[in-house]
Amino acid sequence: MRVVIVGAGQVGSSIAADLADTHEVIVVDCDGERVEELNYSYDVLGVTGDGTSVSTLEEAGIEETDMVIASTDNDETNIVVCSTVKAISDAFTIARVKNTEYLRTWERSERAFGVDFMVCTNLLAAKSIVRMIGLPAARDVDPFAGGKVQMAEFEVDDDSPVANQTVAEADRFDSLTFVAILRNGCVEIARGETVIKPGDRAVVIGSPTSVQEFARSVAPEESPGTAEEVVVVGGSEIGYHVARLLEERGFRPRLIERDGERARDLAERLPKSVVMESDATDIEFLEREHVGDADVVVSTLDSDEKNLLVSLLASRMGVERTIAIIDTADYVDLFETVGVDVGVSPRSVVAEEISRFTRDGEAENIALIESDKAEVLEIEVDSESILAGRPIRESMQELPDGLVIGAITRDREFVTPRGDTVVEVGDHVVVFGDIDVVDDIAPKL
């Protein structure tokens, strides 16, 4: 495809890097230095100018463009970009916004604002966090097949019961498939004889029930499900949505917000949450409120440095797991190294959501592993698929080694994939693949 990306910030740059190898990418930004930097870093074309301007879009070749992604840091600019594009072309438009009010308006009116697809950064980040809560040791969780399937990544500590076990020994669950082990930044396909070492991250795909059971086996000392006590620090939009989504799942979180007026507003909007007005770095307050007894502390303050400080304080007080919003994606690995258990970059989350629209074949859903080292794809099998009407064992002989079928759903029911399982037309198949093979093989599935 020919894709125009308006906005060369962190989100735009991430999407451009993801698409450059397989699509013709043109990046538009007012900052000439950013555009030039992307020109040198990736195989993309650059146009310096205002993405809301017709002349700039025409210079970018809008008439021949298949997709336009508006990914600046300004909601209104992104909406105007899409409206302008629709006025002069037939390109598919994607707008990134932070304000959920725009998302609500768009959802109530088909293609409002000239936007074909809208992604809300704050809401996506909150959903990403909430999926991890209730699953001990989980670092990443993604739903597939309408929630019938989960992909989850778990960190294995030194004292975990599964540490130093082989995959065959740890695999005691009927509807669970071990697909990969992440070790020292590398992705290793999980085999029966693969040893799960302390510090590894195990990637599994299965039914939500089996994933929950595996979470208990990885970290039996942590509280599972809604029994987890959660403290949300910061009444930002992300913090609000985290608390709201937790309420919907049956949790009763506590939320700490420094601003009195904002705290009162949140208390009215979150009837099942306890909202406390205080500075979350006040150690006396944290001790008085027994924050150290919490299972999870989620820090959603307005700066990366504050979120790091709160996470380190919480860990020092005895909190089992800390999750922090990290606005600068490059800081995620650093923060996790110095003590944050899980760092969530809203920009990375939204870039991943947008990337799934650019995949070849009929991918229904996509998740990225280790940024871009591997992918999990959900594919609806058609009559042309290499999998259709054949046992998995037979099909896999014609597929590369770096591919694992993790789950199947048929008529919205979970099917555990085994060697003799015959894949039928209409099945939804969730596949794990090494990045080196997945782009080539996805259209065949």
pTM across the whole model: 0.88
Is residue 355 pLDDT above 80, yes or no? no
Which tokens go with 40? 């040198």
- How far apart are the C-alpha atoms of 11 and 349, rounded to whole Å? 9
Q: How far apart are CA 179 and CA 202, in angstroms?
A: 8
The whole-number pLDDT of residue 223 equals 62
Whether pLDDT at 216 is above 80: yes
The pLDDT tens digits of the residues spanning 68-100 come to 999 999 999 999 999 999 999 999 999 999 999
pLDDT tens, 273-324? 999 999 998 999 999 999 999 999 999 999 999 999 999 999 999 998 999 9
Per the document, the length of the chain is 445
| pLDDT tens-digit map of 189-211 | 998 999 999 999 999 999 999 99
Question: Which one is predicted more confidently, 373 or 16?
Answer: 16
Q: What is the pLDDT of residue 305?
A: 95
- Whether pLDDT at 237 is above 70: yes
Query: What single-letter DSSP state applies at residue 422?
Result: B
Residue 117, SS3 per DSSP: strand
Beta strands 254-257; 274-277: pairing state:
parallel
How confident is the prediction for the chain on average, in pLDDT? 91
Residue that is written with structure tokens 């005691």 in the block: 172
Residue 246's pLDDT band (boundaries 50, 70, 90)? very high
What are the structure tokens assigned to 78, written together? 């992104």
Whether the per-residue pLDDT at 371 is higher than 70: the answer is: no
Q: Which residues of 190-318 form beta strands (DSSP E)? A: 195-196, 201-206, 230-233, 254-257, 274-277, 296-299
406 compared with 438, residue with greater pLDDT: 406
pLDDT at residue number 227: 66
Distance of alpha carbon 230 from alpha carbon 322, whole angstroms: 10
pLDDT at 358 over 80: no
Tens of pLDDT, residue by residue over 99-151, are 999 999 999 887 789 999 999 999 999 999 999 998 888 889 999 998 999 99
Domains and CATH numbers, the chain: 2-115 (3.40.50.720), 126-218 (3.30.70.1450), 230-349 (3.40.50.720), 352-444 (3.30.70.1450)
Q: What distances in angstroms separate CA 140 from CA 151, 209, 370, 371, one per listed residue?
A: 8, 16, 10, 12
Indicate if the pLDDT at residue 226 is higher than 80.
no
Give the SS3 label for residue 410: strand
Closest CA to 231 of 285, 288, 291, 303: 291
